[in-house]
């Protein structure tokens, strides 16, 4: 499930939105979405499938980390639950963008207005993504600490997950305060979370944990 979440996220973000969204051109973005509506819908579907898998993965990680500290494991689960709820809610904005571009057959002025509204919906989703990652950042810090203290998961993975949490928080706060700066640091600062989560995912798949939690 963890690997499917990572794969779905890469598909929707890199192969759909990065391909269709032109951040400095609302009209071109609307045209891309209208001409590739099926791809846009596939990206949203991949996102939603990813969030469906989030739920059982939360439970698995909670069960995995509960023996270390039950209360902290529950706190990490709650932060992750808020993250997923926020991200799911903002997916409606991507449907709004799709619906608005469907009406772009009106006169030039109306088309321009609809394109602008579609672009605002897309930007709202981008900010919703950052809001969700802010909560997930705190979940990573908590879970990373529990992984580090567990004794049955390598300590370096716990450290990486904690660093990933800090990166998520810094990236989100930068987006809220100074979007220009966030655009500069985001490509680099989000590499660390990708490496951290992929490392944890692959370790669970290849090595795994054999124990009987209380």
Q: Read off the pLDDT of residues 41-53 as tens digits, 9 standing for 90 and up.
A: 999 999 999 999 9
* Residue 105, pLDDT score: 56
| CA distances to 14, 103, 123, 174 from 136, in Å | 20, 36, 20, 16
Torsion of Cα atoms, 74 then 75 then 79 then 85, to 10° = 40
CA atoms of 56 and 44, how far apart (whole Å): 20
- What pLDDT score was predicted for residue 111? 83
How many CA atoms, within 13 angstroms, populate the side-chain half-sphere of residue 197?
Answer: 25
Q: Are 90 and 124 in contact (CB under 8 A)?
A: yes
Distance CA 29, CA 168 (A): 27
Task: Please report whether residue 66 resides in a domain.
Answer: yes
Look at residue 22 and give its three-state secondary structure. Answer: coil
Q: Which residues of the chain have pLDDT under 50?
A: 104
Q: Are 6 and 57 in contact (CB under 8 A)?
A: no
On the 0-12 / 13-18 / 19+ scale of CB atoms within 10 A, 119 is: buried
197 within some domain: yes
- 166: which 2 tokens? 């800090």
Question: Which tens digit of pLDDT belongs to each residue from 191-212?
Answer: 999 999 999 999 999 988 876 5
Q: How far apart are CA 63 and CA 80, in angstroms?
A: 14
Answer for the pair 194, 10: CB distance below 8 angstroms, yes or no: no
- Reading the block at residue 81, the tokens are 């639950």
Q: What is the pLDDT of residue 200?
A: 96
Is residue 15 assigned to a domain? yes
- Quick one: pLDDT at residue 203? 94
pTM of the predicted structure, to 2 decimals: 0.90
Rounded-to-integer distance, Cα 136 and Cα 77, Å: 10
- Structural domain span for residue 130: 2-206
Residue 194 CA to its chain's centroid (Å): 11
Within a domain: residue 211? no
Does residue 212 belong to any structural domain of this protein?
Answer: no
The reply to whether 128 falls in a domain is: yes
Domains of the chain: total: 1
The reply to whether 125 falls in a domain is yes
Report the alpha-carbon angle 55-51-211, nearest 5.
Answer: 35
Q: Does residue 151 lie within any of the structural domains?
A: yes
Task: Classify 208 as helix, strand or coil.
Answer: coil
Query: What stretches of 66-209 show up as alpha helix (H) in DSSP?
Result: 70-102, 108-150, 155-177, 179-189, 191-206
pLDDT at position 160 is 97
């Amino acid at each position: 499930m963890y690997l499917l979440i990572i794969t779905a996220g890469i598909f929707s973000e890199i192969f759909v939105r990065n391909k269709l969204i032109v951040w400095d051109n609302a009209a071109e973005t609307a045209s891309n979405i209208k001409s590739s509506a099926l791809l846009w819908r596939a990206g949203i579907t991949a996102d939603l499938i990813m969030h469906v898998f989030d739920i059982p993965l939360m439970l698995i990680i909670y069960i995995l980390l509960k023996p270390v500290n039950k209360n902290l494991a529950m706190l990490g689960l709650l932060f992750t639950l808020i993250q997923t709820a926020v991200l799911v809610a903002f997916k409606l904005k991507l449907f709004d963008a799709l619906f608005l571009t469907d009406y772009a057959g009106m006169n030039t002025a109306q088309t321009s207005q609809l394109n602008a509204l579609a672009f605002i919906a897309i930007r709202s989703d981008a900010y919703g993504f950052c809001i969700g990652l802010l909560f997930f950042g705190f979940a990573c810090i908590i879970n990373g600490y529990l992984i580090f203290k567990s004794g049955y998961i390598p300590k370096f993975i716990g450290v990486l997950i904690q660093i990933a949490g800090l990166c998520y928080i810094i990236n989100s706060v930068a987006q809220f305060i100074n979007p220009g700066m966030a655009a500069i640091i985001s490509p680099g600062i989000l590499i660390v979370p990708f490496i951290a989560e992929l490392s944890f995912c692959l370790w669970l798949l290849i090595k795994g944990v054999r124990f009987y939690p209380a």
